[in-house]
Amino acid sequence: MPKICILGGGFIGRFYAESLIGRRGKDEVKVVFSRSQETVDRFAKDYKVEASFTDMEQAVAHSDSEMVIIALPNFQHEEAVNLCVKHKKPVICTKPLGRNADEAFRMMKAVEEAGIFAGYLEDLCYTPKFLKSLKSVQSGAIGRVLWAKSRETHPGPHADWFWDKNFAGGGAIVDLGCHCIEISRNFIGKDIRPVEVMCWADTQVKPIDAEDHAIGLVKYENGAIGQFEVSWTFRGGMDLRDEVMGTEGTIWVNTWLRTGFEMFTSGVGEGGYVAEKAESDSGWQFPVGDEAHELGYPNMFIDMFDSFENGGQPMETFYDGYVVNAIIDAAYKSAESKLWEPVELKEWRGQTGLSKPSVFQEYDSEHWFIKDEILPNGDKVTIVKEKSTGKIKEV
């Protein structure tokens, strides 16, 4: 039962605190850090946190900081991880791990060489619908995965630093693409090496230097394709969707926006917060029953703390965060070059030497099977290909 220190008292830090309180029933937030005195005081009051600091090292070094949660802007992640290494504190870090792969690699190596527990807080890989989908995929329900697509779009992030690519490391790709890339990696297999990336990115609407919209393809060594669609220009709230296509089936997941809870209001009530990234508090609304649960936070923290207590590795590690950052780096290179760009990994810990397997099915000894179809008049058509001549015909 670790006593918890949260570094960051803003939006994500408060989401984490809400998720922790009353979930496992034994986790306590004892220490909080924020750069702002006002923010840290408000957080401490709202969540009854006993020790609050505007000095990061004092928070990390505190005797009640038995597990450190990094909920800070991207440019502070490495500093925070290094303080955890210095004081030998287990650490779990919000996404993305780094602003780039070099930064992520240094953090990964630092915690591994120090021998401290570390986990990557990729919440969208812990949503109830994702976990159910992943279990189905891993059980073979849809055959070999050919294509995994993930989409996250909304009108843009909540804090100023996100919009400065020097602080954030980029725009929509590093902010949202990190989720989408890791979702596809899980579906395809995290031991399958990402080989190269083709990406389109542009600044379409916002007056910023970073991209506010991007679409990318990630090619994997076994022939599978991962696809990400990300945008800070989407209007109407936050849209989280995943699709997985296999040789024997398909899965569609809608995690946010149109989830079966719809409400119309003319705006006569109190108004205010409806759901994350909602753009209006009147008209048709799409509230979420339990936002933290639907976004995967409780499942994520249960995995992290149980893994820590049992001496194991969580589902999402710093190594996963590093691989995601390496894919993002390749995406940014591709967006500039307009070419497929290789994913450069200093360390690869998965399978090697894979190739795209053949999944051709035989119709008989002389033909490959292509498909069956029943026509509107009731006729059944079978399409085959002759092995000897390559001729395609109906039988």
Amino acid at 99: R
Q: What are phi and psi of 131, to 5 degrees?
A: -60, -40
Query: What is the model's pLDDT at position 262?
Result: 80
Helical segments of the chain, H only: 11-20, 37-47, 56-61, 77-86, 101-114, 128-138, 165-168, 172, 178-188, 291-294, 297-310, 318-337
Q: What is the pLDDT of residues 208-235, one digit of tens each?
A: 999 999 999 999 999 999 999 999 999 9
Q: What is the pLDDT of residues 335-369, one digit of tens each?
A: 999 999 999 999 999 999 998 888 788 999 999 99
Amino acid at 118: A
Q: What is the pLDDT of residues 33-53, one digit of tens each?
A: 999 999 999 999 999 999 999
The domain locations on the chain are: 3-122, 125-342, 361-394
Whether 3-122 shares its CATH topology with 125-342 is answered no
Q: What is the pTM of this model?
A: 0.92
d(C-alpha 27, C-alpha 49), whole Å: 12
Q: CATH topology for 125-342?
A: Dihydrodipicolinate Reductase; domain 2 (3.30.360)
Query: What is the model's pLDDT at position 293?
Result: 86
Dihedral, CA of residue 262, residue 267, residue 268 and residue 269, to nearest 10: 60
Mean pLDDT of the region 291-311: 92
Domain 3-122 is found in CATH 3.40.50.720 = yes
Residue in the block written with tokens 């650490």? 91
Query: What is the model's pLDDT at position 19?
Result: 87
d(C-alpha 178, C-alpha 228), whole Å: 9
Q: What are phi and psi of 218, to 5 degrees?
A: -115, 120
Query: What is the model's pLDDT at position 276?
Result: 67
Phi-psi region of 9 (alpha: psi -120 to 50; beta: other; left: phi over 0): alpha
- Which residues, 6+ apart, have CB-to-CB distance to 9 below 8 Å? 32, 33, 34, 36, 39, 40, 42, 43
Q: What is the pLDDT of residues 170-218, one digit of tens each?
A: 999 999 999 999 999 999 999 999 999 999 999 999 999 999 999 999 9
Nearest by Cα to 188 from 217, 220, 142? 220
User: Is the confidence at residue 24, as pLDDT, over 60?
Assistant: no
**Partner residues linked to 216 by β-bridges:** 199, 228
